[in-house]
Structure 1
Amino acid sequence: MFEYMENVSQNEAENIKKTIQDLFRQTCILQMKCDPVTMIQRDNPRYQVCLRNREFIEDYLSVLGCELIHDPQEHIFRIAGDGVILEKMTLMTARLVIILKLIYRDRIMGEGLRATTTNMAEIREYGRNTNLVTRKLTNQEWTDALLLMKTHQMIEIPGAIANLEDDTPIYIYGTVNIFCSAMDINELVRKYGDEEAAIESV
């Protein structure tokens, strides 16, 4: 491993280190990233680093109990395994992720790949319609959920989370599907919706 790093350029060695750090911090490396200012997709240089140095990165991660997985259909690299430290997702964040997954599915099926954007007003509307969110969320709940989704490359937002307006566009990445249970999405909606209804009836 050390020999490999010594044989690449100093710039490439630094890129490899930063790419591995990003994998542990955000779980995924996407081929195309949405520019947070223009909301236009651009090539992600970290993805190219993974392609060029895939074997080395796989070997490095395997020592740490992790596996590098390449999904050519979704155009992502991601890590999995016992060595990956997973953030605990609150129940409300999990519900919001499910809502984002629903919106993403509806966009793909109805409007095509170029229309995978949403906003907070629409998220609230989906929450009410599915019974997943039936109360007004606190600013902290929104912040926690959006920050986790942004960190793990599920969404991209322009500017700071605190500055989001109801109609500010939120770009949804296909990676939102990775962070949802493998259960059928309609079953997830029914399960969480029933739980919310049961809580309210108490």
Structure 2
Amino acid sequence: MIEYYEQLMQEEQEAVTEVIQLLYRQTFLLERKFDKRAGRLSFVKEYRTCSKHLEFLKEYFKVAGVTLYENAHMGLIYIQGENLWGEKLPRLATIYLLVLKLIYDEQMAEVSSSSHIVTTMGAVNGKAGDFRVLKGLPSPTEMRKTISLLKKYQIIEPLDVLEELNEHTRLIIYPCINAVLMGDDIRELLNTFNEEENIGDESAIQGHLEDMPE
């Protein structure tokens, strides 16, 4: 494994090191992310580096008890492991995460040619309202804070200015959401928020998310 790395040119070694640090820091690598200046999805160079050296990187992370996965169809590379810990999500962020996954799955079933889905804040709050998991519409400040948090985890990418956030604000839902909530029954989890004894209680859902790495 070390021999493979040492045979690389210095520039390539630095690129591989950067990818390792990036995966530990943000968990996911997307093949394409939205470039606001270009106004379109653009390829991510770190993803290409990771894909090129995938077998070496799998062995590297394996030593640390971490598994490296690639989903070429979704354009996603990510790590998972029991020793990777993330922060607890606030109630609204957890609700939005589940709703976004539901919207993502519904739209993917209709348009399977793309791994990226676009929705709006109005659709997200409307879907949450359908499940009666919000007492009322969150304040603009609370919504902006929550959207910023989910953007940090590369779950979504706002296409419009957050300072002007409203029901028409567009959001790209990245395929990272599949790695966070893979295999969960989203509707059932959302229904737990509709039970009176769980109002204001995050514990009903966070057991499913506590292994979400930072």
- Whether TM exceeds 0.5 here: the answer is yes
Matches within 5 A, 1:1-202: 2-111=2-111, 113=113, 116-139=117-140, 141-158=142-159, 161-180=162-181, 182-195=183-196, 199=199
Distance apart, 1:161 and its partner CA: 4.0
| CA–CA distance in structure 2, aligned partners of residues 159 and 17 of structure 1 | 33
Give the letter aligned to residue 117 of structure 1. V
Give the letter aligned to residue 92 of structure 1. L
Give the letter aligned to residue 129 of structure 1. D
Q: More displaced, 75-84 or 163-172? A: 163-172
Task: Say what the alpha-carbon RMSD is for the aligned residues.
Answer: 2.7
Normalization by structure 2: what TM-score? 0.78
1:91-112 CA-to-partner distances (Å, cap 9, x unmatched) read 2211110111122122223455
Distance apart, 1:49 and its partner CA: 0.8
Unaligned runs of 5+ in 2: 201-214
2:69 aligned counterpart, secondary structure: strand
Structure with greater helix percent = 1
Q: Report percent identity of matched pairs.
A: 27
1:178 aligned counterpart, secondary structure: helix
Distance apart, 1:80 and its partner CA: 0.6
| CA–CA distance in structure 2, aligned partners of residues 177 and 13 of structure 1 | 30
| CA–CA distance in structure 1, aligned partners of residues 24 and 141 of structure 2 | 25
Q: Residue 93 of structure 2 contacts residue 146 of structure 2 at CA under 8 Å; is this kept in 1?
A: yes
| CA–CA distance in structure 2, aligned partners of residues 178 and 134 of structure 1 | 29
Distance apart, 1:45 and its partner CA: 1.5
Alpha carbons of structure 1 residues 36 and 165: separation in structure 2 relative to 1, 3 Å? farther
Distance apart, 1:158 and its partner CA: 3.5
Alpha carbons of structure 1 residues 54 and 130: separation in structure 2 relative to 1, 3 Å? same
